[in-house]
């Protein structure tokens, strides 16, 4: 199990069609979930996540430590900041729970501090090689 450190901003899917790397400036959609829906899913599926009403959260265990912030507006999650270390499957599970979907491969990711755009599938393969 590869445990890797990361710091990303996670957005919804790119506005363009097809699997591709985002350009230097990406146009993305919001994540199709409200903060309240994400909160309910976390409570049901990942009760160890501590989520505050301001959108900040923390998830820690023997092999993972992730903190983040959910930014929402207009009943949708605009983006999520995630920072920490964990295994790829743990990060995928957290994001799928927050987003309310397992179709996250084409979500846009800004890798920090480099400010490099990737799609989640590419980020996952780079950060968590098998």
Prediction pTM value: 0.91
pLDDT tens-digit series, residues 11-62 = 999 876 555 565 556 688 999 999 999 999 999 999 999 999 999 999 999 9
Render pLDDT for 78-116 as a digit per residue (tens, 0 to 9).
999 999 999 999 999 999 999 999 999 999 999 999 999
Classify residue 70 as exposed, middle or buried by CB count within 10 Å of its CB (0-12, 13-18, 19+). buried
64 contacts 3 by C-beta, under 8 angstroms: yes
Distance from CA of residue 72 to its chain's centroid?
13
**Residue 72 to residue 80: CA distance in whole angstroms:** 9
Domains of the chain and any CATH numbers: 3-127 (3.30.310)
């Amino acid at each position: 199990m590869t445990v890797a450190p990361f710091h990303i901003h996670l957005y919804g899917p790119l506005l363009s069609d097809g699997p591709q790397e985002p350009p230097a400036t990406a146009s993305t959609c919001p994540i199709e979930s409200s903060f309240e829906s994400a909160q309910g899913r976390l409570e049901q599926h990942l009760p160890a996540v501590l989520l505050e009403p301001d959108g900040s959260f923390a998830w820690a265990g023997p092999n993972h430590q992730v903190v983040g912030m959910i930014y929402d507006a207009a009943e949708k999650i605009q983006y999520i900041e995630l920072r920490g270390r964990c295994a790829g499957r743990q990060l995928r599970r957290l994001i799928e729970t927050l987003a309310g979907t397992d179709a996250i491969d084409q979500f846009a990711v800004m890798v920090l501090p480099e400010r490099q755009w990737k799609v989640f599938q590419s980020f996952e393969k780079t950060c968590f090689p098998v």
